[in-house]
Structure 1
Amino acid sequence: MTTKEQREAAPENSLLREWTGPLTSDITLHPGNFGLGKVPAKFQPDATTTMVCGFCSTGCGLNIHLKEGRAVNLTPQTNYPVNLGMACPKGWEALTPLQAPDRATTPYLRGKDGKLEPVDWNEAMTVFTERFKDIQTRHGPASVAFLGTGQIVTEEMAFLGALAKFGMGMIHGDGNTRQCMATAVTAYKESFGFDAPPYTYRDFEESDVLVFIGSNLCIAHPILWQRVLRNPNQPEIIVIDPRKTETAMAATQHYPIRPKSDLTFLYGLANILINQGWINPDYINQHTAGFEDFKKHVQAFTPEMTAEASGIDVKQLHHLAETIHQGKRVSFWWTMGVNQSHEGTRVAQAIINIALMTGNIGRPGTGANSITGQCNAMGSRLFSNTTNLLGGHDFKDAADRERVASILGIDAGLIPNQTGWAYDQIIDGIDTGTIKGLWVVATNTAHSWINQSSIQRIFAKLEFLVVQDMYHTTETAQFAHLILPAAAWGEKDGTFINSERRIGLVKKVAPAPGLALSDFNIFKLVAAYWGCTELFAQWRSPEVVFQIIKRLSHGQPCDFSGILDYKMIDAAGGIQWPLQQEEKLLDSERRLFGDGIFYHGDGKARFIFGEPREMSEPPDAEYPFILLTGRGTSAQWHTQTRTAKSAVLRRLYPESIYAEINPSDAARRGITASSWVEVTSRRGRLKAKAFITSTIATGQIFIPMHYAQTNQLTFPSFDPYSRQPSYKSCAVSIRAIHPKEQNA
C-alpha cells in the first residue's frame, strides 16, 4: 500500500493523514511525521550535544558526538554531577544497540497461519483498536490491561498511563518497576509519607560509615562505587550479604548472613543499639512517631537469638552496632537483595528505622537510601499512572482526582477511583481468564518474570497480545499477535529521573529505523484510532507534556514547578526534585529532610515493623540448596536485550550460563571446575557451567539473573505489601552431568 493509500484509508481523525511524505527512514523531520527520519536541524553537523545514559538508574551524563547530524560516538561528561567524567562499559556502548540488525522496523501482525507478517501502521492501528474494543465489549473494561516500563521517558510513561486509563477505559495496568522498586516505594510511603529517596550521590563521598545491605554496588552501579572510592574520610565500608560479592571483597567489614535472615538480623542490630543507648533520643522525640512500640518489638530479638538465626556471632553483632554508633555520618544503602524478597518492605523499613533512631538522616553523608535499578524507574514511580495517580496523587482521593482532571482539562469521572491490579495479579488474571488482552510496552516479561515456564504457558491464553518494543526478537515478542516498532533511547526526546531524584534530558541524536516511531507518537496514533484524541489535544510533544506533568507536581513532595524547560535541565546538568516555583537552584546536589520534617500530616516519620515470615521455599532433602540470583557483571543488563547486541560487552562476560558453588559442596557431588551441571527446582531445570568458588557459602548456589534460563527455576512468592517478586531465594538441587549425557 502506498503512503497516499495509507493516508486515505485511515480514519478522518487519524494522525496518519498529517503525513506529507513517504514512510521511509530518510525523510526530513517535521511536525507531522512523528519522529521519523533525520535528526533535528538544531544539532549542527560535527557538533557535540549532551544527554543522560539510557541503561541504569545512575543517570550518567554523556557527550554525544555528531557527524552530519547523527550520533557517531560518545564520551562521558566531565562536569556532570553524577559521573564526573566516568562511564561504565554499558555507557560506553550505549549507541551500539541502536544499530542491531533485529530492530523492529515495521509493525508485524500474526496471520491465520501463525506467522508474523509486516503490515503498515494503518492496518496495525485498525487491528489494535478493533481487537481491544471487541474484547472490552464482550468481557468488560477489566478484561484488558497494560504492562509498562522503567525504560521509556517520563513524558511517554505519563501518556501511556493517561491514555490507557482515561482514554481507553483500562482498569488494570502496572510496570516492570514492580520487579525492582515496589518494595522501596511502599517502604518510603509508609515511613516517610511519600516515595522520597532522601539522598544525593555526594553522600557516598561524605559518609564515614557506609552500610550496604543486599547491594553489590561494584557490579550493579560501578559509577556509584567510584564515588565511594573518592571518599576522603577513610570510611568503614560494611556489606551485609550472604555472598562474598565484589563489593564485600572491597569492604572493611562483611557480614555473610544466612539468606533471608535479614529482617531478624536488623531487628537484632536495633536491639543492641537501643539497649546500649547508642541512639539519638532528641531526634526520635522531635521527628518520629511509634518508637516505643518498635522498641518493645525488638526486645525479643536478643543477640543470641539473632546470632542463631543469621549465622553471625554475638561478638560480630556488637562490633557492627558499635561501628554504627561511632560513626558521625552513617549512610545505609540497599538494592535488590532487599527489595526482591518475600518480606522486603519490612526489611527496608528496618533499615529506615535504624537510620531514624540514630539520627542518621537529612545530614550530609547519612540516609536510608534505596538505589534504583532502571534508568527511569523513578519517573515510572511518579508518573506511570499505575500505583498512584499522576504526580504522586491518590486515585482514591476525590480532591486529587478533581485536581488532576482540572490540570488535564478532562472530566474527573474518567479517572478511576482505585488503583488497578499489580503485575502478579494481572498475570494471575490472564491465567484465570479474566484478562483477555494485554499491551506490553518496552519490557520482556517472558524472560524476566518469576517462574518463567508458567508465564509462557499463561501468555498462550491471551486472545490478543500487543508488544511494543525496539526489537522484534524478544521472548515476549514471539508470543505477540501484533508488534509495534518503537524508537529507542537516543532516537527521541524526553526526561529520565534517576536514583537521587535528578531529572535529566534525553535527546534525539539518531533516526529511528524504518517505520519505527517514538512511543510518544505511537500513543498519539492509538488515541486517534481509538477516538479519544480530544482528551490529549494539549499533548503535542514531549516538552509540552513535561510542562503538563510539571503542573501536576506542583504542591506535591516531588514538586519541580521551578524547572522552566528542557533548556534549563540541560544547562544545569540535571535537576533534583523538589525545586519549587520561584525557588533558586543554588546547588547541583540536594538531599531531603534536612529540616527534620517528613510528609505525614504531623511532619514525623513512622517506625514501621512486623514479625519475620518463614522463607517461602526452604531447602529440604530433595532440594538441599538455596538458589541466589543477582547481577553477573557490569557489562550485562537485565535480560540482555540490548547489551547482547554489543560485541564489546559480550567479550566482558561469560557466554554460557554458570552456577557458582562452594568447593566443599562441589567435591561431595563430584563437580569439577567448568564442568557442566544440572540445577533443578520444583519448576524447571537448566544446564550450566560450574564455577567453583569460596565466595559462595556451603548450601548455596548463585546464578546470574541475565540468562534466559535462570527464571525457569525461581519460586513465585511475593511481598504482601509491595507485591514485588522474591527472585533471590528458592530451593534447588545440583548434580554433575556425565560427559556422555552432555553429548546426548
Structure 2
Amino acid sequence: MSTVTPPSRLQQLIYAKDGSLTRDLLLYPGEYGLGKVPAGAKPNGTTTSVCGFCSTGCGLELHMKDGQAVNLSPAVDWPVNLGMACPKGWESITVLKAHDRATQPLLKGADGKLAPVSWDEAMKTFCARFKDIQAKHGNDSVAFLSTGQIATEEMFFLGSLAKFGMGMLHGDGNTRQCMATAVVSYKESFGFDAPPFTYADFEESDVLVFVGSNLCIAHPIMWERVLRNPHDPKIIVIDPRRTETAVAATHHLPLRPKTDMALLYTIANELIQRGWIDESYIASHTNGFDQFKQHVAPYQLEDSLANCGLEPSAVMEVIQAIHDGQRVSFWWTMGVNQSHQGVRTAQAIINLALMTGNIGRPGTGANSITGQCNAMGSRLFSNTTNLVGGHDFTKEEDRQKIADILDIPVVNIPTENSWSYDGIMEGIRRGDIRGLWVIATNPAHSWIHQQEAKETLEKLDFLVVQDMYHSTETAVLADLMLPAAGWGEKEGTFINSERRHGLHKKVVPAPGEALADFQIFRLVSHYWGCDSMFSDWKTPEDVFQVMKKCSAGQPCDITGIRDYRMLDDARGIQWPTKEAESSGDDWMPQPQRRLFEDGQYFHPDGKARFIFEQPEAPGEVPNDAFPLHLLTGRGTAAQWHTQTKTSKSAVLRTLYSTTLLVDINPQDADALMIEPHDWVQVQSARGEIRARANVTSSVQPGHVFLPMHNEVTNQLTYPQFDAYSRQPSYKNAAVRIVKSV
C-alpha cells in the first residue's frame, strides 16, 4: 500500500496515524470500531450476500477463510434463486482479481497521459476544476452520470451530495438505457414506479407471455423458475427472433420489428369483441377503458399479416390461450423498453393485464424485468430525475419533506427535474455542460451511436471517471480517474426486479488505494466543504436509516426494515414493508408479496389508467442503401453489459465466442454469396464493423443480429429516443452486409 503525507485535518477521515491510507478506517471509522466485521460476516465459515450482476438478486454463500472470501456457492435458502446460480454469479469473486483494476488515482498531465497521484491531490484537483467551471459557466455547467451497479446507499449519497451540496442540477443514470420506459409506464398507469410481481409468479402462472424478452439468456435463474412451474403452462413468446426462449415456447409470434404495439392492440380488440374481458375489474379498478376500446377497434385480426407479418390463425391461438388461462402473467424486457415508442408499448401490455383482471393475484401481472443489479435502487433513491424516495422535485411539499429529514435548507433542493441522459449528452455538445463525473458506467461503449458519444465526451473541459477498472473505454478518456472498490469489497443494499432489498457485504479487500464509492463521496464532500451536511453518514447503514425516513408514506415505504441484520436474517425483504406492519422485534414479513391484491393503485382515485397512442414507424427503416434491419440483444448468459467485468473471467470467456458473430438468415446469405464463418463488413450510415457470418434461421430474412455486449456494436445503432422516457432505441438501425475480400 502506498504511503502519502496527508493534511492533518484529514487524518481522522481517511488516514491511519502512520500516514498510510486505510480502507477499513474509511469503511468503519474509529468511533464505530476499527476493523468491525460487516453484518453477518465471519472470519471463517460462510456468509450470505446478494449477487452484484443482474437484477435477479440471487443469494450467494461466500466461503470465508481468515476473514476473506475464497469461494462461493448459491444459497439454497434464498427465496430468489433457491440454490441456483448462473455462470456470472459463480465467477463473482474471480472478476475482482483482474490485472487492470484501478488501484490509485490517476491524473492527466500536460503530456496527455494519466499518471498516479495521491488522494489528496486527486480531491483538490476534482473540486478546484469543477468549482472553476461552475464559477465561469454556472452551477448547471457540471453534471454526473451514475449507474445501476453501486449500492442504493451510495446512489443516495451521490445524488444528495451533487444536488444539495455541490449545486448540480443535472444528473442521470445508466438505467436510462434499460429501465426508463418501464418507470414511466408504471408511473402513468399505476401512479408509481411499481413492478407488481414476485418471482413465485413464474411458477404459479398457467400462461406466461414474454414480449421482447429472451429470459433464458438474459435472466437464467428466472427462466429456471419458469421451468419449475408445475402447471404445464403455455409459454407465449412475442419476438422477431427465434431466441432460446422462443425455441422452448408453446407459441412463438415472430412479428416484424417494432410492430408489437399494433399486435397488442389487435389482441386487445379481439378480446373485447369476444367479451373475453373482466368487466367487473375494469369498472371497479380502472379509468379510460371506453376510450381505449374505441382506440383499438380498427386493429382487426384479419389485418395481422399486413400490420405485423403474422398469420391471423397464429395470433388467434395466442388470444385463445390468454382467454383460457386462469392465471396469466405478462413479462417484458429490453425488446420493449429499448424502443422509439417503448412506453406506449409497455402500457399496451399493462392494458391487457388490466382488462383481463390478470393482476394482483398469484401467477398474474404486467411485469417488467429489470436489467442491472440495482436499477430499482437507482429508480427510487438516486436523486437523478426523481427526488429521493420516489418524490418529485417540482412539488413543494416533497422538497420540504426531504429538506426536513436531511436537515438542510429547502432552497438547496432543485425545483426542476434534471435533464435525462440524452439531454446531458446534448448539453455537452452545445457547450452548456463542461464538466462531467461518470460513476461505474461506460458511456463510451454503451451509449447509442458510439462515435458521436466519444466525440461528445472529448468536448468536455474536465471528465472524471470513477470505476473499478482503469481500462474501460470511458476511463481512458478521463482527465481524472478515481479507483473504486467493487461488489464484495464494500457493503450496502441492492433492490431487485421484484422489489426485494438485499444486503451485499465486504468480504475481500479492495486492491491498492481503491475506495468504496461511499467513501469517495465522503472525501468529495469534505474537500468541497459541505461535509457538515453529511456528518452523520459515516457508514452505509447510517444512510440506509435515512433512506427509510425518506420512504415513509410512499408506496416504496421501508420503515419496517429495522436494519441490515434484519435484511440478512430475512434473506432480503420486498418493499413496501411499513413500520406499522411490524409486530415486535422478531417480526419478519412474508418472503413473497405482490402489489395490488386489493385492487388499489397509487393514483389519487385508487384506480389504474388505460393509456394508449397511435403507433408510429421508427426513424430509420431498411432502404435501398441499407436493406437489412439490425437487431441487438444479449449474446450469451456469460456476457454482461459492456463486458467490463465478465471479460476478466477465463471461465466466462470460454462460454461465448471471442470473435464477433453477426446472425444472418440463409436466404440473405445466399443472395449475398456469404458462406458460414465468412468475414463480412456490417455497415450503417454511422459506421462499419467487421464480423464473422453466423448463418442461422434464428433471424428472419431481412434481419441481422449482433450482441449488444461487443465494444463495436454501437458504432452502428441509430440514435432515436422514446418521447416520454427518453430511453434510446437500440433495435431499429438499418444496415447492409458486404462480404470481406
After TM superposition, list the pairs within 5 Å mapping 1:38-49 onto structure 2. 40=37, 43-49=41-47
The residue number in structure 2 matching 1:656 is 659
The Cα shift of 1:27 comes to 7.3
The Cα shift of 1:31 comes to 3.4
Matched, 1:7 2:10: no
Is contact 1:29-1:37 (8 Å) kept? Answer: no
**More deviation in 122-131 or 306-315?**
306-315
Q: 2:48 aligns with which of 27, 47, 50?
A: 50
Q: 2:143 aligns with which of 118, 142, 145?
A: 145
CA 34–380 in structure 1, closer or farther in 2 if over 3 Å, else same: farther
Q: Give SS of 2:721's match.
A: coil
Q: 2:101 aligns with which of 100, 103, 107?
A: 103
The letter for the 2-side match of 1:76 is P
Matched, 1:733 2:736: yes
The Cα shift of 1:300 comes to 1.4
Q: 1:214 aligns with which of 203, 212, 215?
A: 212
The residue number in structure 2 matching 1:545 is 543
The Cα shift of 1:61 comes to 0.2
Distance in 2 between residues matched to 1:14 and 1:665, nearest whole Å: 66
**More deviation in 179-188 or 535-544?**
535-544
The Cα shift of 1:64 comes to 0.3
Distance in 1 between residues matched to 2:14 and 2:23, nearest whole Å: 19
| Cα displacement string for residues 463-514 of structure 1 (whole angstroms, at most 9, x for unaligned residues) | 0000000000100001100000000000111000000000000100000111
The letter for the 1-side match of 2:59 is G
**More deviation in 30-39 or 324-333?**
30-39
Distance in 1 between residues matched to 2:417 and 2:222, nearest whole Å: 34
| Cα displacement string for residues 50-81 of structure 1 (whole angstroms, at most 9, x for unaligned residues) | 00000000000000001110110000000100
The residue number in structure 1 matching 2:256 is 258
CA 39–444 in structure 1, closer or farther in 2 if over 3 Å, else same: farther
CA 518–330 in structure 1, closer or farther in 2 if over 3 Å, else same: same
The residue number in structure 1 matching 2:437 is 439
CA 86–664 in structure 1, closer or farther in 2 if over 3 Å, else same: same
Is contact 1:331-1:368 (8 Å) kept? Answer: yes
After TM superposition, list the pairs within 5 Å mapping 1:594-613 onto structure 2. 594-613=597-616
CA 557–28 in structure 1, closer or farther in 2 if over 3 Å, else same: closer
Matched, 1:587 2:590: yes
Distance in 2 between residues matched to 1:541 and 1:348, nearest whole Å: 38
Matched, 1:23 2:20: yes
After TM superposition, list the pairs within 5 Å mapping 1:103-122 onto structure 2. 103-122=101-120
CA 348–32 in structure 1, closer or farther in 2 if over 3 Å, else same: same
| Cα displacement string for residues 501-546 of structure 1 (whole angstroms, at most 9, x for unaligned residues) | 0000010000011111100000000000000011111212100100
Distance in 1 between residues matched to 2:58 and 2:33, nearest whole Å: 27
The residue number in structure 1 matching 2:649 is 646
Q: 1:699 aligns with which of 702, 705, 713?
A: 702
| Cα displacement string for residues 351-399 of structure 1 (whole angstroms, at most 9, x for unaligned residues) | 0000000000000000000000000000000000012100001101100
After TM superposition, list the pairs within 5 Å mapping 1:73-472 onto structure 2. 73-472=71-470
CA 78–458 in structure 1, closer or farther in 2 if over 3 Å, else same: same
Q: Give SS of 2:195's match.
A: coil
| Cα displacement string for residues 111-149 of structure 1 (whole angstroms, at most 9, x for unaligned residues) | 010000000000000000000000000000111000000
% same residue: 61
Distance in 1 between residues matched to 2:454 and 2:33, nearest whole Å: 34
Q: Give SS of 1:5's match.
A: coil
Distance in 1 between residues matched to 2:495 and 2:253, nearest whole Å: 32
Distance in 2 between residues matched to 1:370 and 1:473, nearest whole Å: 33
What runs of 5+ residues in structure 2 fail to find an aligned partner?
A: 583-587
Matched, 1:712 2:715: yes
Matched, 1:622 2:625: yes
The residue number in structure 1 matching 2:727 is 724
Backbone CA RMSD of aligned residues: 1.7
Is contact 1:438-1:464 (8 Å) kept? Answer: yes
The Cα shift of 1:28 comes to 7.5
Matched, 1:633 2:644: no
The Cα shift of 1:246 comes to 0.1
Matched, 1:671 2:669: no
CA 352–2 in structure 1, closer or farther in 2 if over 3 Å, else same: closer
Distance in 1 between residues matched to 2:31 and 2:672, nearest whole Å: 59
CA 29–683 in structure 1, closer or farther in 2 if over 3 Å, else same: closer
The letter for the 2-side match of 1:645 is K
CA 98–2 in structure 1, closer or farther in 2 if over 3 Å, else same: closer
Distance in 1 between residues matched to 2:529 and 2:31, nearest whole Å: 18
Distance in 1 between residues matched to 2:689 and 2:446, nearest whole Å: 16
Is contact 2:183-2:193 (8 Å) kept? Answer: yes
Distance in 2 between residues matched to 1:24 and 1:526, nearest whole Å: 16
Is contact 1:76-1:85 (8 Å) kept? Answer: yes
The Cα shift of 1:318 comes to 1.6
The letter for the 1-side match of 2:273 is N
What TM-score, normalized to structure 2? 0.97
CA 17–192 in structure 1, closer or farther in 2 if over 3 Å, else same: closer
Matched, 1:483 2:481: yes
Q: Give SS of 1:56's match.
A: coil
CA 297–110 in structure 1, closer or farther in 2 if over 3 Å, else same: same
The Cα shift of 1:37 comes to 11
What TM-score, normalized to structure 1? 0.97
| Cα displacement string for residues 601-633 of structure 1 (whole angstroms, at most 9, x for unaligned residues) | 000000000111111100001000000000000
Q: Give SS of 2:632's match.
A: strand
Q: Give SS of 2:736's match.
A: strand
| Cα displacement string for residues 244-298 of structure 1 (whole angstroms, at most 9, x for unaligned residues) | 0000000000000000001111111111011111100000000000000000000
The Cα shift of 1:22 comes to 4.2
The Cα shift of 1:325 comes to 0.4
Is contact 1:200-1:589 (8 Å) kept? Answer: yes
Distance in 1 between residues matched to 2:432 and 2:386, nearest whole Å: 23
CA 165–615 in structure 1, closer or farther in 2 if over 3 Å, else same: same
Q: Give SS of 2:503's match.
A: strand
The residue number in structure 2 matching 1:741 is none
The Cα shift of 1:307 comes to 2.8
Distance in 1 between residues matched to 2:407 and 2:425, nearest whole Å: 33
CA 157–481 in structure 1, closer or farther in 2 if over 3 Å, else same: same
CA 114–35 in structure 1, closer or farther in 2 if over 3 Å, else same: farther
Distance in 1 between residues matched to 2:299 and 2:417, nearest whole Å: 36
CA 30–356 in structure 1, closer or farther in 2 if over 3 Å, else same: closer
The letter for the 1-side match of 2:192 is F
The residue number in structure 1 matching 2:508 is 510
The residue number in structure 1 matching 2:585 is none
**More deviation in 296-305 or 280-289?**
296-305
Distance in 2 between residues matched to 1:633 and 1:35, nearest whole Å: 44
CA 386–67 in structure 1, closer or farther in 2 if over 3 Å, else same: same
The residue number in structure 2 matching 1:742 is none
Is contact 1:18-1:33 (8 Å) kept? Answer: no
Q: 2:472 aligns with which of 474, 481, 487?
A: 474
Q: 2:526 aligns with which of 517, 520, 528?
A: 528
CA 728–2 in structure 1, closer or farther in 2 if over 3 Å, else same: closer
The Cα shift of 1:582 comes to 3.1
Distance in 2 between residues matched to 1:334 and 1:619, nearest whole Å: 25
CA 21–363 in structure 1, closer or farther in 2 if over 3 Å, else same: farther
What runs of 5+ residues in structure 1 fail to find an aligned partner?
A: 739-744
The Cα shift of 1:23 comes to 3.0
Q: Give SS of 1:197's match.
A: coil
Q: Count the aligned residue pairs.
A: 735
The letter for the 1-side match of 2:738 is R
